[in-house]
Amino acid sequence: MNVIETRGLGKRYGGTWALRECTLAVPARHVTALVGPNGAGKTTLLNLAVGLTTPSSGTVTVLGGLPPGSPAALDGIAFVAQDTPVHKNLSAADMIHMTRNLNRRFDQDYAQSRLGELGIPLRRKAGALSGGQRAQLALTLALARRPQLLVLDEPVAMLDPVARHDFLATVQAVAADGVTVLLSSHVIAELERVADYLIVLSAARVQLAGEVDDLLASHRMLTRACAGGPASRGRRAEARDHMLVQATQADEVPPGWESHPAGLEELVLAYLREPGATPLAGPDRGRNAHQPEVAQ
């Protein structure tokens, strides 16, 4: 089953397309990373999927064909919006009570137990909690709804490294229990350890989508040394040309170039730097060709 399917999906605000010609099939039982710069259309896509806005063109269905925002879809999807919003003047216990009353399905015992395990006092106001605790509170309220699909929009952007690590560890554990996760984030290095499906958005369009392992296997990074290079940390550093190319067994590495496996961050950055381009094998036809990189 696909948890989200779109065909030619688009959303326009006035004369500006926030998302355009988006065709996707997001598989169940994966942690899907949605990556892109500000204004790429990530939040727009998530809002369309959870029924917070309606398309200007195309179609979107969720959970195997349900209309977004329908009662059945709302029962099966939990959404944590940007900045993990909670009511700062309400206590954690008040937030549990309110969420329970607003949802047809809510596991109050789970919510209270999980907050206890995290050391989050039920009587403390959300505004008095740390950023990491507020994020965990919002995540707990979402998980207590026992969703099939958990949608997270930039949940770790404002967290410190420890809180971010703990939050993503919870995401991993949730996914291991069978919950499908769609996670929007700028933190590519963190996504590398949790995501197994990737969607790259840029310029309001999908640039890349697929299983992470398959995408990495189908690309290679070529590098070569340049003459001279800027100083780095008090010593001479080697500047390098680099480019991303499609990896096929028939490709030969051009003279002077070295071939390396592509990392997730290299893959994502290449598609973000040149949206709409197609990586081709060859010394002058890949992504980021002849853009110098300082070797550390």
pLDDT tens track for 208-219: 999 999 999 999
Residue 227: pLDDT band (50, 70, 90) is: low
Q: Which of 183, 213, 243 is the last residue of a domain?
A: 213
Query: In DSSP terms, which residues pair with 35 in a beta bridge?
Result: 200
Amino acid identity of 69? Answer: G
Residue-wise pLDDT for 45-101, tens only, equals 999 999 999 999 999 999 999 999 999 999 999 999 877 678 999 999 999 999 999
Q: Do 223 and 247 belong to one domain?
A: yes
**Domain-terminating residue out of 182, 213, 244:** 213
Taking the mean position of all CA atoms in its chain, how far away is CA 171?
12
Model pTM score: 0.85
Q: In this predicted structure, what is the pLDDT of residue 243?
A: 81
Residues 6+ apart with CB under 8 A from 76: 62, 63, 66, 147, 148, 149
- Read off the pLDDT of residues 93-131 as tens digits, 9 standing for 90 and up: 999 999 999 999 999 999 999 999 999 999 999 999 998
Q: Average pLDDT in the 244-270 region?
A: 80
Q: Which of 138, 203, 160, 156 is nearest to 33 (CA)?
A: 156
pLDDT of residue 116: 96
Same domain, 66 and 136: yes
pLDDT at residue 84, rounded to an integer: 67
Q: Do 264 and 158 belong together in one domain? A: no
Q: Which of 178, 213, 248 is the last residue of a domain?
A: 213
> Which residues on adjacent β-strands are paired with residue 77?
149
Question: Is 177 in the same domain as 30?
Answer: yes
- CATH code of residue 8: 3.40.50.300
Query: How far is the C-alpha of 32 from the C-alpha of 27, rounded, in Å?
Result: 8
Whether residue 81 is found in the same domain as residue 55: yes
Whether 22 and 166 share a structural domain: yes
**How far does CA 233 lie from the centroid of its chain?**
33
What is the model's pLDDT at position 223?
84
Residue with more model confidence, 184 or 253: 184
Domain match, 127 and 274 both: no
Q: How many whole angstroms from its chain centre is CA 153?
A: 8
Name the nearest CA neighbour of 194 among 30, 81, 50, 58: 30
Element (H, E) at 166: helix 161-176
**Tens digits of residue pLDDT in 263-288:** 898 899 888 887 665 554 433 333 44
Q: Are residues 180 and 203 in the same domain?
A: yes
Q: Which domain holds residue 89?
A: 2-213
Q: Are residues 271 and 199 in the same domain?
A: no
Structure-model confidence comparison of residues 156 and 214, the more confident one: 214
Cβ contact 182:152 at 8 Å? yes
Q: Is the same domain home to 35 and 106?
A: yes
| Band (138; pLDDT cuts 50, 70, 90) | very high
Count other Cβ atoms within 10 Å, centred on residue 160: 11
Which residues, 6+ apart, have CB-to-CB distance to 253 below 8 Å? 222, 259
pLDDT > 70: what percent of the chain? 85
For the chain, the distance separating the N- and C-terminal CA atoms, rounded to the nearest angstrom, is 44
Q: What is the mean pLDDT of residues 23-33?
A: 95
The number of folded domains in the chain is: 2
Q: What does the mean pLDDT of the chain come to?
A: 85
Has residue 237 got a pLDDT over 50? no
**Nearest CA among 148, 178, 182, 170 for reference residue 35:** 182
**Do 178 and 240 fall within a single domain?**
no
- Specify whether 222 is located in the same domain as 171: no
Decide: helix, strand or coil at residue 162.
helix
